[in-house]
Chain A
Amino acid sequence: MTRRWPLLRLLFFVLTPLAASQSPAPERFVRFDNVAVTAGLDFRHVNGASAARHLPEIMSGGGLFFDYDNDGWIDLFLVDGGSLTDASVAARARHRLYRNRGNGTFEDATARSGIQHTGYGMGACAADYDNDGWPDLYVTNVGPNVLYHNNGGRTFTDATRTAGVGSRSFGASCAFADLDRDGDVDLFVTNYVDARVDNNIFCGDTASRLRVYCHPLNFAPLQSVLYRNNGDGTFSDVSAAAGIAPRRGNGLGVVIGDYDDDGWPDIFVANDMTPNFLYHNEGRAIFKEMALAAGVALPIDGKPRAGMGTDFADYNGDGRLDLFVTNHELEMHTLYRNLGAGLFADTTSESRIGLETLPYVGFGTLFLDYDNDGDLDLAVVNGHVMNDSGHFRPGAKEAQRKLLFRNDGGGRFKEVGRQSGPGFAVEGVGRALAAGDIDNDGDLDLMVTNNGGMVDLLRNDDGPEDHSLLVRLQGTRSNRSAIGARVLLTAGGATQMREVKAGSSYLAQSDLRVHFGLGRTTRIDRLEIRWPDGASEVVQDVPVNQIVSVVEGKGITERRGNLGMRN
Chain B
Amino acid sequence: MISLVSRRLASWRLVPGLLVALALSVGGQSPDPNTDFLRALGQFSLALDGAYGDEGHGIRSSLESMGRALDRWDETIRTAEAAMAAAVAGADPGPAAAMHATLGGAYLDRGRIADALREFTTAAQLDPARPELYTLQGLVLSQGVNDDAAATDAFRKAAALDARNPVRWYMLARQLEKTGAAEERTRTLQTFQQSWDQAANGKGRSAIAPPFSRLGLLQEKSRVEPFFPPVLYAEGFARLQRGDYRGAIDQFGEAAARDPLAAAPVERSEAMGQAATAIRDGSIDAAIRHLTVAIELAPDRAEAHRLLGAVYLASQQGDEAIGELEAAVRLSPGDERTHLALANALVVTGRYPDAERSLHQLIAVLPGSGRARYALGRLYQRQGDYENALREFESSIAFHPLLGLNGIYQSMGAINAARQHFDAAIDAYSSRVDVHPNDADAHQDLGDTYLRLGRHDEALAEFAMTLMLATGRAGAYAGMAEVHLKEGRYADAVEASRRALDLDGDHRQARYSLATALLRLGRTEEGQTELAAFQRLQADDAAARARSLELGGLKREASEHSANGDHEKAVALLRRALDLEPNDAVSHLNLGLALLYAGHAADAIERFESAVALKAPPDVHRHLAEAYAALGRDEDSRRELALYQQLQQDSLRRAGGNR
Residues of A within 8 A of B (CB): 201-204, 206-207, 215, 217-218, 274-275, 292-293, 295, 298, 300-304, 330, 339, 343, 345-346, 349-350, 354-355, 358-359, 391, 393-395
Contact of B486 among A300, A330, A393 (CB under 8 A): A300
A29–B542 CA distance with the chains assembled, in angstroms: 45
A202–B553 CA distance with the chains assembled, in angstroms: 7
Is there contact, CB below 8 Å, between B420 and A358? yes
With A201-B556, A343-B519 given, can you name 4 additional A-B contacts, CB distance below 8 Å? A206-B556, A292-B534, A293-B519, A355-B453
A346–B553 CA distance with the chains assembled, in angstroms: 35
Contact A303-B556, Cβ < 8 Å, known A293-B519, A343-B520, A394-B419:
no
Contact A293-B512, Cβ < 8 Å, known A206-B559, A275-B538:
no
Chain A residues in 8 Å Cβ range of B560: 202, 206
Residues of B within 8 A of A (CB): 384-387, 418-420, 422, 452-454, 482, 485-486, 488, 508-509, 511-513, 515-516, 519-520, 527-528, 531, 534-535, 538, 542, 545-546, 549, 553, 556-557, 559-560, 563
A218–B452 CA distance with the chains assembled, in angstroms: 28
Chain A residues in 8 Å Cβ range of B511: 302
Contact A293-B553, Cβ < 8 Å, known A275-B538, A301-B482, A395-B419:
no
Chain B residues in 8 Å Cβ range of A203: 553, 556
Chain A residues in 8 Å Cβ range of B508: 302-303
A218–B538 CA distance with the chains assembled, in angstroms: 17
Is there contact, CB below 8 Å, between A350 and B454? yes
User: Least Cβ distance of A553 to chain B in Å?
Assistant: 41
Chain A residues in 8 Å Cβ range of B528: 293
A330–B534 CA distance with the chains assembled, in angstroms: 24
A51–B545 CA distance with the chains assembled, in angstroms: 26
Is there contact, CB below 8 Å, between B419 and A218? no
Chain B residues in 8 Å Cβ range of A202: 553, 556-557, 560
The 6 closest A-B pairs by CB, nearest first: A302-B512, A349-B454, A206-B559, A201-B553, A302-B509, A358-B420
Chain A residues in 8 Å Cβ range of B486: 300, 346, 349-350
Chain A residues in 8 Å Cβ range of B512: 298, 301-302
Is there contact, CB below 8 Å, between B549 and A215? yes
Residue of A218, A350, A394 most packed against chain B (CB within 10 A): A394
Chain A residues in 8 Å Cβ range of B418: 330, 393
Chain A residues in 8 Å Cβ range of B520: 339, 343, 345
User: Least Cβ distance of A69 to chain B in Å?
Assistant: 46
A303–B546 CA distance with the chains assembled, in angstroms: 16
Contact A300-B482, Cβ < 8 Å, known A292-B531, A293-B531:
yes
26 pairs from A and B in contact (CB 8 Å cutoff): A201-B553, A204-B556, A206-B556, A215-B549, A217-B546, A217-B549, A218-B549, A218-B553, A275-B538, A292-B535, A293-B519, A293-B528, A293-B531, A295-B516, A300-B485, A300-B486, A300-B513, A300-B516, A302-B508, A302-B511, A346-B486, A349-B486, A354-B454, A355-B452, A394-B385, A394-B387
A394–B386 CA distance with the chains assembled, in angstroms: 7
Nearest residue in B to A395 (C-beta to C-beta)?
B419
User: Least Cβ distance of B519 to chain A in Å?
Assistant: 6
Q: Number of A-B pairs whose CB atoms are under 8 Å?
A: 79
Is there contact, CB below 8 Å, between A359 and B420? yes
Chain B residues in 8 Å Cβ range of A275: 538
Nearest residue in A to B549 (C-beta to C-beta)?
A218
Nearest residue in A to B418 (C-beta to C-beta)?
A393
User: Least Cβ distance of B492 to chain A in Å?
Assistant: 15
Nearest residue in A to B488 (C-beta to C-beta)?
A345
User: Least Cβ distance of B552 to chain A in Å?
Assistant: 8
Chain B residues in 8 Å Cβ range of A339: 520
Nearest residue in B to A351 (C-beta to C-beta)?
B454
A380–B214 CA distance with the chains assembled, in angstroms: 48
Chain B residues in 8 Å Cβ range of A350: 454, 486
User: Least Cβ distance of A365 to chain B in Å?
Assistant: 20
Chain A residues in 8 Å Cβ range of B454: 349-350, 354-355
Chain B residues in 8 Å Cβ range of A217: 545-546, 549
A378–B528 CA distance with the chains assembled, in angstroms: 33
A274–B546 CA distance with the chains assembled, in angstroms: 12
Nearest residue in B to A358 (C-beta to C-beta)?
B420
Nearest residue in B to A294 (C-beta to C-beta)?
B519
Nearest residue in A to B383 (C-beta to C-beta)?
A394
A520–B556 CA distance with the chains assembled, in angstroms: 62
User: Least Cβ distance of A18 to chain B in Å?
Assistant: 33
User: Least Cβ distance of B344 to chain A in Å?
Assistant: 22
A218–B546 CA distance with the chains assembled, in angstroms: 7
Chain B residues in 8 Å Cβ range of A349: 454, 486
Contact of B557 among A201, A293, A359 (CB under 8 A): A201
Chain A residues in 8 Å Cβ range of B420: 330, 358-359
Is there contact, CB below 8 Å, between B513 and A302? yes
A345–B557 CA distance with the chains assembled, in angstroms: 43
Nearest residue in B to A201 (C-beta to C-beta)?
B553
A300–B487 CA distance with the chains assembled, in angstroms: 12
Residue of B385, B538, B563 most packed against chain A (CB within 10 A): B538
Chain A residues in 8 Å Cβ range of B386: 394
User: Least Cβ distance of A76 to chain B in Å?
Assistant: 35
Chain A residues in 8 Å Cβ range of B535: 292
A359–B422 CA distance with the chains assembled, in angstroms: 12
Residue of A206, A304, A346, A358 most packed against chain B (CB within 10 A): A206
User: Least Cβ distance of B417 to chain A in Å?
Assistant: 9
A531–B387 CA distance with the chains assembled, in angstroms: 57
Nearest residue in B to A354 (C-beta to C-beta)?
B454
A393–B421 CA distance with the chains assembled, in angstroms: 13
Chain A residues in 8 Å Cβ range of B509: 301-303
A206–B515 CA distance with the chains assembled, in angstroms: 42
A106–B528 CA distance with the chains assembled, in angstroms: 53
User: Least Cβ distance of B638 to chain A in Å?
Assistant: 32
Is there contact, CB below 8 Å, between B422 and A302? no
Is there contact, CB below 8 Å, between B385 and A295? no
User: Least Cβ distance of A528 to chain B in Å?
Assistant: 31
Nearest residue in B to A295 (C-beta to C-beta)?
B516
A194–B301 CA distance with the chains assembled, in angstroms: 66
A395–B535 CA distance with the chains assembled, in angstroms: 36
A343–B528 CA distance with the chains assembled, in angstroms: 13
Chain A residues in 8 Å Cβ range of B513: 300, 302
A304–B545 CA distance with the chains assembled, in angstroms: 13
